[in-house]
Amino acid sequence: MRMILSVLLRVSAVALMAGALAWFAERRLDRAAEAKSFTDAARVPAVEAALMLGTAPIGPEGGPNRYFVYRLDAAATLYKAGKVKYFIVSGHRDGGYDEPTAMRDGLVERGVPAEVIYRDFGGDRTLDSVARARLIYGQTRLVIVSQRFHLSRALFLALHQGIEAWGFEARDVDAAYSILTELRRYPSALRAYWDVWNGLPQQAVGNPVRLGVDPAE
């Protein structure tokens, strides 16, 4: 019985330490993002392209995912304000699950021309999306569109990928909407530090794409 109790105490201590470390990592990323993340499109620097980070189009209750909808609204606002010429919509595709195509269609519905929207199907992770923006699409200056908790680690990864990046914050969603999404930000922040410490990708699969020269397909 004492042995079991000792094991449980050790496991609890490790879990507590890991949780505290993840919380600290997320807080540190959030503070670092404050100076380069905006809610007002007028304050965003004008650049050639924006990177819109993907998420599931359908939410946990079966209707439209509000994280997704609010990112589309923010991206369209950015375009209409004349801050970007092109979009890289980067996300996951697996069979009928196609984030980039859903993002493109949503932007077109909001008045963004289809010919300025480039779909990146290699964005399985935030790290992949950021790395491919530079390695495939040749961008060294970007505006990244997502919710603030997501932008904080995306901006951190962009910095270490050699990209000068700013964040345009989409409206956030109440915590009650998806507790999993709320909690995932903490281990994800810790993983961002881990990715940087272990070296970011220096190559990506795919042919180079020149925005505004190569057609958006």
Q: Where are the domains of the chain?
A: 2-197
Residue, of 57 and 118, whose pLDDT is higher: 118
Could you tell me the fold of the domain covering 2-197? Rossmann fold (3.40.50)
**Model confidence pLDDT, tens digit, residues 119-137:** 999 998 899 999 999 999 9
Residue, of 180 and 152, whose pLDDT is higher: 152
Share of the chain above pLDDT 90, in %: 49
- Give the pLDDT band of residue 197 (cuts 50, 70, 90): confident
Whole-number Å distance between alpha carbons of 172 and 158: 21
Query: Is the per-residue pLDDT at 216 higher than 70?
Result: yes
Torsion of Cα atoms, 104 then 135 then 165 then 57, to 10°: 30
Beta bridge partners of 122: none
The token pair at 23 is 């919380």
Query: Is the per-residue pLDDT at 204 higher than 80?
Result: no
Q: What is the pLDDT of residue 93?
A: 84
pTM of the model: 0.83
Task: Please give the span between the terminal C-alpha atoms of the chain, in angstroms, as a whole number.
Answer: 64
Lowest mean pLDDT among 11-20, 56-65, 200-209: 11-20
- Report DSSP state, residue 93: E
Across the range 155-184, mean pLDDT stands at 80
Q: What is the pLDDT of residue 18?
A: 45
Q: What is the pLDDT of residue 15?
A: 45
**Model confidence pLDDT, tens digit, residues 33-62:** 677 899 999 999 999 999 999 988 887 777
- Give the pLDDT band of residue 159 (cuts 50, 70, 90): confident
